[in-house]
Structure 1
Amino acid sequence: MKKFFLRIGIMIVILLSAYFIWSLTGRAKEKETGWSKLPEFKARFEYVEAGIDSGKGNIIGIQPYLTATSYSTAFNFEVSLRFYFEQLKRENKLTDKSIVVLPEYIGTWLVAANEKETIYKQETIEKAMTTMVRSNLFSFFYGYLKSPAKDKSKYAIFHLKAEKMAKQYQQVFSTLAKVYKCTIVAGSIALPDASINSKGEMQIKSGAPIYNTSVVFGNDGEILSPLIKKLFPIDDEQGFTAAADTELQPVFTTKAGKMAVLICADSWYPQAYNNLTNKADFIVVPSLGDKDSVWLAAWKGYNGFKAPVDVDTTDYKKISEGDAWLKYSMNKRAATANIHQGMNVFFTGSLWDMKPEGRVLILQNDSTTVLPASVGKGRIVNLYLQ
């Protein structure tokens, strides 16, 4: 009997050893950029400028065209972003009064960093995440068991590398802000109840609810407190992310003036503007979005939360999604908060079978300009503040 259990024990050890060897091999390594291949930059990118340089600063929306390879390492991710910062530097568009805004969830896909190279070649995100789970089984099950969310699997995926994601995210954007001496609103990243410790470092709380979190980096590379957490997650987010307290909307002091930051759908709700009214000079909104066909399709109505009382629900399925953005988001609600300048920046790229075709909304003196979808290329949008 003892020999039987000894053999079983040896077999388990062999199987576990084989698994760990398999899980650790073939991974993308920092500065070796996966399979020794840098991200493929789109040679074409669009530059759009609005307003006249008054010396008061500018809001610069960057829509980097990102692919799965862009997220294979933190190095690749930084190089992918530097391409656009270098264009701005070359044209002397960056100053200490520049506010650079990136799209929503831009940091979240660092969950794929340093994974097996096969992940970045998968056709669908489902296949890519399945491979990632298989090579991180113990971390995945740990997060699954601690999950406070309804969708425990999705929570566990974004929890399993949260601490590393937070460090890489801060490292990349802190470096860019310091090197290019500008303020960066670093899109957002999904993290378990992230906070800033006494050393100015992002830290996460294991097993805590995940919040869609935006971070502002000053032109010295330091994080400007506090972190911004999404107030009104949409249906697709509610399975694994939580809603933040509406009383926690900050206003940031920058060299370009007082800045408000709302994450995507938050810009649709009057409650999100309660703490911003008469306090901010301009507003920025990082967003994700989808294929442009969704923007042009009939609006399905408010997503995730009940429509505010000032919304005409007869507009549902009668106006387009794009028309609804103009009628009910930043364009309308910023003015009621006495904010008359701003920008809404959407994601663009090709991440597995996710192919967001981002637009940009420019708010100038209560009038909104909607740029066409950025399809198959990156874009830089420069708005001079007045």
Structure 2
Amino acid sequence: MPKLAFALFALILLGGLWGIYRTPPAPIVGGELELAEITPAASGNSPHLVAIQPWMRTRDYRSAATLEHRLDAYLSEARDAGLLASGSIVVMPEHIGTWLVAADAPAASFSAGTTTGAMTHLILANPLPFAAAFLRSNEADRMAAAVFRMRGDRMARDYQRVFAHLAERNAITLVGGSIVLPEPQVRDGRLIAGNGPLYNVSAVFHADGSIDPALVRKVHPIPDEAGFTAAATVDNLPVFDTPSGRLGVLICADSWHPDVYAALREGGAGIIAVPAYLQPSGVWDQPWGGYTTGWPDDVDPAVMARHTEGDAWMSYSLADRLFSTDARWGATAFMRGALWNLGSDGANILVAGDTAWIAGQLDGASISALPLPASRP
């Protein structure tokens, strides 16, 4: 009997310790926005195309609520600057939703020095769900795929909640950056994760907080994503109706390829938004490493030696390729900051008419904007 009592006590103790280990850290909200630059509003009450380049920290993903609070602070700055008039379109950066994979993870995930360490603690806190997801994953990077598949339902719910709130609160069209989800779809107004391949996707949220039923899937994943995300087809690239015109969305590397611009031109896009994420830190001024997603026929590989990374973004991405469409306005929004051991680089790029320019600050957060025509009735 004493042995049985001891065994029961040990099980209770271990269960309690495991429960403590699995407890997420207390949310931390607020803190310096690192906002280095904000574009002043055009005269009058014009709608704007706004690129938000936030400075993100690991702690901003402790919960969906902390992420919403952080992003709302940037939107408040844009609103106070007069940039969020009726008809404004706001672009968030690539992968701004992806790190919701860590929301409500154990405290150890947020004190880990690397993303690998953070995900290891997430796995240890959820061994059975991870094992089930691992058995259903056959991607090259099976571990990463299993983590995102395990968290897919929760991530889809949190992502929609955060960005729907932000869009409705500010009465804007919001391009919700991007998020990695398994076979996502919008059903009856709700974003849900499926059971198929993982995609890097972007959703557009309307001014009433509703999510558009059409999702943008990345067509040209970079090598770091290709191990666990699938490539979409250009045939399914949507164009969205907004109060300020037809909107096309291209996720980061897609903005370097002519096939996607042809699809947006066919869809009648007059405005193009590009959520982007660039690594590592300091790469913007370094020699360009060339396309990692396959060279398009209209770019000679010999030009690689003549460009920095920043030059290449201006020469072969939205800043130049928008002119191959009927679109007149475009914006690329980069994510900055330091998430675990991940660096970041880039600066917002704006295009209006036949002019393109770098609008953001490299070493901080930026809110960059250009005026759009008055909203349609």
TM-score of the pair, normalised by structure 2: 0.91
Offset, 1:290: 1.8
- The equivalent residue for 1:242 is 230
Pair 1:107–1:17, CA change in 2 (3 A): farther
- Which amino acid in structure 2 is aligned with residue 137 of structure 1? P
Question: Secondary structure at the residue paired with 1:382?
Answer: strand
* Structure 1 position 197, deviation (Å): 0.7
2:302 matches 1:302: no
Q: Which of 200, 210, 214 is matched with 1:212 structurally? A: 200
Closer/same/farther in 2, CA of residues 86 and 58 from structure 1, 3 Å limit = same
SS of residue matched to 1:267: helix
**Distance (Å, rounded) in 2 between the aligned partners of 1:77 and 1:250:** 27
Residue 57 (structure 1) shift: 2.0
- Runs of 4+ aligned structure 1 residues displaced above 4 Å come to 13-23, 26-29, 53-56
User: Structure 1 27/62 Cα, relative in aligned 2: closer, same or farther at 3 Å?
Assistant: farther
- Structure 1 residues 23 and 252: CA distance shift in structure 2, 3 A: farther
* 1:372 shift after superposition: 5.2
Match runs of 1:316-355 below 5 Å: 316-355=304-343
Paired residues, number: 368
1:378 pairs with 345, 365, 377, which one? 365
Distance in structure 2 (CA, Å) of the matches to 1:51 and 1:281: 21
Unaligned runs of 5+ in 1: 1-6
Contact kept? 1:67, 1:350, Cα under 8 Å? yes
Structure 2 unaligned regions, length at least 5 = none
What are the residue-to-residue correspondences of 1:92-111 with 2, within 5 Å? 92-111=82-101
Alignment deviations for residues 183-216 of structure 1 (CA, whole Å, 9 cap, x no partner): 1000000000100112x0001112x110000000
1:314 aligns with 2:302: yes
Distance between the aligned counterparts of 2:247 and 2:217, measured in 1? 16
Contact map agreement 2:360 2:368 (CA 8 A) in 1 = no
Between the aligned partners of 1:354 and 1:205, the Cα distance in structure 2 is 28
Of 48-57 and 358-367, the range deviating more from structure 2: 48-57
Q: CA deviation at 1:14?
A: 8.8
Measured in 1, the distance between the counterparts of 2:14 and 2:230 equals: 34
Task: Quote the Cα distance in structure 1 between the aligned partners of 2:154 and 2:148.
Answer: 11
Distance 1:159 1:52, change over 3 A: same
Partner of 2:59: 69
Q: What is the distance in 2 between the residues matched to 1:139 and 1:366?
A: 52
Matches within 5 A, 1:1-386: 21-27=16-22, 34-35=25-26, 37-49=27-39, 52-53=42-43, 57-198=47-188, 200-206=189-195, 208-277=196-265, 279-304=268-293, 306-371=294-359, 373-375=361-363, 377-386=364-373
Does the aligned pair in 1 maintain the 2:251–2:274 contact within 8 Å? yes
Q: Is the 8 A contact 1:108 1:189 kept in 2?
A: yes
Q: How far has the Cα of 1:47 moved from its partner?
A: 3.4
Is the CA contact (8 Å cut-off) linking 1:42 and 1:65 kept in structure 2? no
Per-residue CA deviations over 1:225-272 (Å, capped at 9, x if unaligned) read 201000000111100000011101111110111111000000111111
For 1:334 and 1:219, locate their aligned partners in 2 and report how far apart those are by CA, in whole Å: 26
- Superposition RMSD in Å: 2.3
Q: Which amino acid aligns with 1:140?
A: F
Letter of the 2:295 counterpart: A
Using the alignment, how far apart are the partners of 1:153 and 1:15 within structure 2? 31
| Secondary structure, counterpart of 1:224 in structure 2 | coil
